[in-house]
Structure 1
Amino acid sequence: MILKVSKRKKTAYYTAFRIGFSYLFLSFFKRFYRVGSFEEKLSKLHSKNALLLKEKIIDLNGLFIKIGQLISVMSSVLPKAYGEAMESLQDKAPVSNFERVKPVLTAALNESIDNVFKTFDETPIASASIGQVHKATLFSGETVAVKVQHPYISTIANLDLDIIENLFKMMNRFFTFNGLDTVYTQVKIMILEELDYQHEADSMVIIKQNIADIEGVKVPKVFTAYSTKNVLVTEFCAGVKITDAEKIGAFNMDEICDKLLFTYCEMMLKNGFYHADPHPGNLLLNENGEIVILDFGAVGTLSKATRFEIPKLLQAVLANDEEKVLISMQKLGFLSRDNNKERVAAKIIAALQSFINSGVKMEDMDYQTIKNSEMEDLRKELSLKELTATFDVPKDWILLERTILLLLGVCNTIHPNYNPIDTVKPYLKNMILSKEYLGDFIKEGIKNQANIIFSLPSRLDTVLRKANKGEIEFEIKSLPKSAQKLYLVIQQFIFGLFGILAFVMAYNSNENGNKAYEKWFLVIAMVSLLLFIYVLFKGRTNR
């Protein structure tokens, strides 16, 4: 492991430059290669660079192991060679000699290991970027997992963060991406939280309580009396890595994926507090088919406003409603209200929807498939500057996006034919009809309809004024009378539609046992019906 500051910086920067330059060099001479030859050379370069990157990550160790772990599950975005090379970093990161770890453990516990543990295995059973895990037994007879930080991590953590920040700045010189500074800030916060095992212990306790009612999912018990900032003692849970297909082949992969996604939907959208590092090394499957979630150093939070808007965004994408997608993305903070940005975003959304609706399965979701899809045509149509300048990066979204990426990577590995939409779509439907969200949706629906109704006179007045001034270039005969009839027809349509929707929602509320909402919907439906009859009668008397 490289601990010398100057050499550590040199290795990181030189590796990034070497890999980046190799691709630029090959791309420059692309025109001179015959058909098929370039793809062959590119594939070999992927494999070569992936092995180089893995070698340097292992040399650097520390926080760079986390980068390798993230790359290992990005098979849908990066070439497969990178995922395959980095997979061993998931739960086989370099270990620290126990003689160097022992002082850290003793200082954290404030007493000898022999006074706390009946047995203690000095050989770690797992190692990660920040710490390693040992198996032990308490004097009470309970088998526990003892996670202790690497002795060098506190020294190199700030240095690694500075290097990562500089790499982000270098990227920003080439690509002006709104919110890149926010990305780094959130990554830094996440890493600093992971360095505090007491924070992890508190997070485990909260999430364990939040998902206690979900059958088949387990969060280990925390022994708070022995847990400190540098040491975490939890219940030992046996199991195999969830992506170890040979050992878990006896279980139903559909059920496992369903259970996994449902659990994370509950954590994210219902509780707003979730486990944000679901890479394969942190997800076990025990002999009973239970999913065991480990390592809560990285956790994310979602505000109520974000949790309210995400289901609407997903529904709009699935319904191919471009306008609502744009509105939701603006509310979530992805887009500012800029016409040019909306134009570019509309093209991106349309290409994404076409890609999703093309029926591509998870097993086909790789780098080459995306390259040959509408997304590649979009890349040619829009400049890189337009693409990177269009979107902002909301604060809540950074960890969420990473978590979703990791989850989909896990599902893709254990069940390539699995379609996550089949699980997410019914969940969203039930969520929207729940008491917590239904009231908010009703209020927003009423507010939107009221805005439409009350803004119609002013809008019509504006049209009439423009028409009278000759600013509208078409002829309208009997303008005032025609406009009045048009206004009445629009009112009839709105009141009629709103009444029908209210009756439908009343029926759904009755089916779901929401009696309070059923009464409110019936009241709204009756009022809408009366207004519809009034407007209809008024329209006939004005003929």
Structure 2
Amino acid sequence: MSVLFILLIGLFFIGVNIAVVAFVAVRLLNVRFTFARVVIAATLSQTAVQYLLIPVLFQDYAAGPDPRAEDVPSLLALLVFALACAPLAAMVILVVWEAILPVGSIPPIRTWLSNFRARMRRSRRYFKILRLFSKHRLTGVIRGRNDQTPQQRAELAVSLRTALDEAGVTFVKLGQLLSTRRDILPAVYVDELAKLQDGASPVPYEEVRIQIENSLRAPVAEVFREFDPEPLAAASIAQVHSARLATGEKVVVKVQRPGIRDTVERDLDIVQRLASKLERHTDWGRDMGARKLAEGFAESLREELDFHIECGNLAAVHAATTGRGSPVHVPRAFPELSSGDVLVMERFDGVSLSQAGPDLAGRGLDSSAIAGVLVGELLDEIMVDGIFHTDPHPGNILVLGDGSLGFIDFGSVGRLDRELRESLQRILFALDSQDVYSLSDGLLEVTTRPDDLDQVEFERALGGFMARFLNVAGQPDMRMFNELIRLVMKFRLSVPNELAAVFRSLGTIEGSATALDPRFDLVHHAKSYGEQYAQKLVDGDALRERVQSEMIAALPIAKRFVRRVDRIAGAVESGRLTVNIRLFADAKERNVVTSWLNQILLTVLAATTGVMGVLLIRVPDGPAMTSSIGLYDFAGFILLFISSVMALRVLVGIFAAGRHREDSY
């Protein structure tokens, strides 16, 4: 028999032993670990048993005489016990390892190189951002210092805007988002961040052509009859080209900048890490919910990078505006020619409102009427459609050749479900009627209230707010809504992102409207719209339709209610009425309680068994198994073994409670 064959046989049996030890250890712990971790623990435990424990147990026979026949059963029992200690040692290693380095805290080895490269790229970018903040002396902003003078705050706001502008596309977008959140930032920062412009140098046409052909899987000349290589506009995420389809329709083609996704994802990782640190280490970070804000921003920006979503937004808004005969046009998308990186949509012949302003009077257009149309359209989108443009600035509003208006750029839209729209209506009606209690109830419906909210003090604050902004002599404007949001945040009520998007859009459209007509009063116009909208809700046809809808929805409930009342009445009449109360009816609650009881029971059994094992070991006299090990000692070791298994089962359940068992393999 060759040496190689013997070696292979030996390796096979070693592998089988390790596999058995690993299986038994994992089975007893009832928690799944990574394959590499289990193999290492089983190998170490098997080695320890073979070279440490077995020599100690059988030291009497290592150099002495052969065992007698009557000693064989005892020696076999010791051998079985030694072999059983291998899974126990593996369990100890796994539990200690889980306590120090839980599964998932270290990535798999196969990803170490790629993770190291990504970490190096992120670190370089991270330090670049920190250098920018340090260069512009923004440590006061990061630490949340409140002792600056108004002049110092103004200078810091300029520095913050400059630093974000230099940091690139993701941070410019973050600054634009923060410029709409007057509820969490002082006005001086909001006004300065509003100056951030999302512009960039154009991408060369050859790169654009490759991007289009890779996305649409067809040559540009095959898809478009004409394609202008010079972009109409270039932004940090995409640029727009004019073209004509083979069917002759005029379109614009929005093409994503090559490599922008990787850049944005890297920066979003940095933004979220910074937000987490700010929330952990600063009071103002916790108050503003920095982590949640960063998560919402990341989700919004990822949606903006996916043109499938913008294509769907265009289709939804176009259908809504067309269905109600809106005077404002929305371009039609071409889903069959669009992808995640390329968006083809209808082209409007017109100029942006920011460029057409001086020529409106010369074309016989009433600036005040146009402002009213814009505001009315946005309110219709919010209150009727439930899907609205979140960035209606003058650059996204076109004055078409016939004098009508068009909305463009629907990369980000707001959505309101029916319940939220109705709650918003109640808030607006409460403001109009100056009803403090209705306003309080409406705000509490749409926000998340803290457990320690002083509702009486909150209502008093709302009363003071109304006295300040809604008295007879006052002239309410958008500052009223900003102050209302600040008041809500003061009482730590969490404003939903959808509602914040509404006020953001209203603030943006107010800027567009006042640019057309400096005397335009958004609040007065919204109040008139609200009165008309309320009147429509109680008109005959609308009221009849609403009542029918509510009755249809309530009909199944009413039928079930009648049947249940009849069954209860029959049970009362026959004396069979009983009340059945089920504790822990939820399966999750039952599982939690069962897990607690199992842990407690295992802990008690482990302690009891361990004490019994120690007592047996301390018994002085008893039958002998070997010259150095007695039967009581052996029985005590068995009990300690069982106690250790149960104790390890409890410990690993505690250490692994923070992760799901299915997360590892």
TM-score class, shorter: 0.5 to 0.7
Output the CA distance in 2 between the equivalents of 1:56 and 1:80: 16
The verdict on how the C-alpha distance between 1:42 and 1:88 changes in structure 2, with shifts beyond 3 A counting, is closer
Output the CA distance in 2 between the equivalents of 1:39 and 1:392: 28
Partner residue in 2 for 1:497: none
Q: How much does 1:266 deviate?
A: 1.6
Residue of 347, 359, 371 corresponding to 1:257 = 371
Partner residue in 2 for 1:451: none
Q: How much does 1:112 deviate?
A: 1.4
Residue identity in the other structure for 1:134: H
Residue identity in the other structure for 2:427: L
Output the CA distance in 1 between the equivalents of 2:444 and 2:178: 29
The verdict on how the C-alpha distance between 1:169 and 1:214 changes in structure 2, with shifts beyond 3 A counting, is farther
Partner residue in 2 for 1:356: 469
Residue of 370, 391, 400 corresponding to 2:502 = 400
Partner residue in 2 for 1:196: 306
Give the alignment of 1:77-476 within 5 angstroms. 83=191, 87=195, 89-90=197-198, 92-172=199-279, 173-175=282-284, 176-177=286-287, 181-212=291-322, 213-244=324-355, 245-250=357-362, 251-336=365-450, 338-340=452-454, 342-357=455-470, 359-360=474-475, 387-388=489-490, 390-433=492-535, 434=537
Paired residue secondary structure (1:148): strand
Output the CA distance in 2 between the equivalents of 1:303 and 1:389: 25
Q: How much does 1:150 deviate?
A: 0.9
Output the CA distance in 2 between the equivalents of 1:350 and 1:39: 29
Output the CA distance in 1 between the equivalents of 2:543 and 2:408: 30
Output the CA distance in 2 between the equivalents of 1:336 and 1:121: 56
Q: What TM-score do you get using the length of structure 1 for normalisation? A: 0.66
Residue identity in the other structure for 2:458: A
Q: Deviations over 1:277-300 (max 9, x none)?
A: 323322222233322111111122
Q: How much does 1:72 deviate?
A: 6.5
Give the alignment of 1:492-503 within 5 angstroms. none
Residue identity in the other structure for 2:340: K
Q: How much does 1:138 deviate?
A: 2.0
* Aligned 8 A contact 2:470 2:476 in 1: no
Q: How much does 1:160 deviate?
A: 2.2
Partner residue in 1 for 2:606: none
Q: Deviations over 1:441-474 (max 9, x none)?
A: x99xxxxxxxxxxxxxxxxxxxxxxxxxxxxxxx
Paired residue secondary structure (1:220): coil
* Aligned 8 A contact 1:200 1:297 in 2: yes
Output the CA distance in 1 between the equivalents of 2:287 and 2:450: 14
Output the CA distance in 1 between the equivalents of 2:515 and 2:274: 30
Identical positions, percent: 22
Q: What TM-score do you get using the length of structure 2 for normalisation? A: 0.55
Residue identity in the other structure for 1:174: D
Output the CA distance in 1 between the equivalents of 2:444 and 2:196: 40
Output the CA distance in 1 between the equivalents of 2:162 and 2:432: 42
Q: How much does 1:390 deviate?
A: 2.0
Output the CA distance in 2 between the equivalents of 1:19 and 1:248: 44
Output the CA distance in 2 between the equivalents of 1:164 and 1:411: 34
Output the CA distance in 1 between the equivalents of 2:543 and 2:233: 42
Partner residue in 2 for 1:479: none
The verdict on how the C-alpha distance between 1:80 and 1:362 changes in structure 2, with shifts beyond 3 A counting, is farther
Residue identity in the other structure for 1:232: L
The verdict on how the C-alpha distance between 1:86 and 1:402 changes in structure 2, with shifts beyond 3 A counting, is closer
Q: Give the alignment's Cα RMSD to 1 decimal.
A: 3.9
* Aligned 8 A contact 1:277 1:406 in 2: yes
The verdict on how the C-alpha distance between 1:207 and 1:26 changes in structure 2, with shifts beyond 3 A counting, is closer
Q: How much does 1:6 deviate?
A: 3.2
Residue identity in the other structure for 1:233: V
Partner residue in 2 for 1:535: none
Q: How much does 1:70 deviate?
A: 4.5
Residue identity in the other structure for 1:350: G
Residue identity in the other structure for 2:527: K
Paired residue secondary structure (2:231): coil
Paired residue secondary structure (1:390): coil
Output the CA distance in 2 between the equivalents of 1:202 and 1:125: 23
Q: Deviations over 1:28-49 (max 9, x none)?
A: 886xxxxxxx656655x26xx5
Output the CA distance in 2 between the equivalents of 1:114 and 1:275: 33
Give the alignment of 1:519-530 within 5 angstroms. none
Q: How much does 1:437 deviate?
A: 6.9
Output the CA distance in 1 between the equivalents of 2:206 and 2:457: 58
Residue identity in the other structure for 2:353: I
* Aligned 8 A contact 2:320 2:385 in 1: yes
Output the CA distance in 1 between the equivalents of 2:405 and 2:371: 10
* Aligned 8 A contact 1:15 1:53 in 2: no
Output the CA distance in 2 between the equivalents of 1:131 and 1:218: 23
The verdict on how the C-alpha distance between 1:425 and 1:132 changes in structure 2, with shifts beyond 3 A counting, is same
Output the CA distance in 1 between the equivalents of 2:191 and 2:361: 22
Q: Deviations over 1:1-57 (max 9, x none)?
A: xx9533432343454564543569998886xxxxxxx656655x26xx52x445444
Segments of structure 1 that go 5 or more residues without pairing to the other structure are 31-37, 444-543
Output the CA distance in 2 between the equivalents of 1:163 and 1:111: 37
The verdict on how the C-alpha distance between 1:99 and 1:53 changes in structure 2, with shifts beyond 3 A counting, is farther
Output the CA distance in 2 between the equivalents of 1:299 and 1:356: 30
Paired residue secondary structure (1:157): helix
Partner residue in 1 for 2:166: 59
Residue of 126, 135, 138 corresponding to 1:9 = 126
Q: How much does 1:134 deviate?
A: 1.0
Output the CA distance in 2 between the equivalents of 1:437 and 1:158: 49
Partner residue in 2 for 1:511: none
The verdict on how the C-alpha distance between 1:25 and 1:309 changes in structure 2, with shifts beyond 3 A counting, is closer
Residue identity in the other structure for 1:403: S
Paired residue secondary structure (1:259): helix
Paired residue secondary structure (2:398): strand
Larger Rg: 2
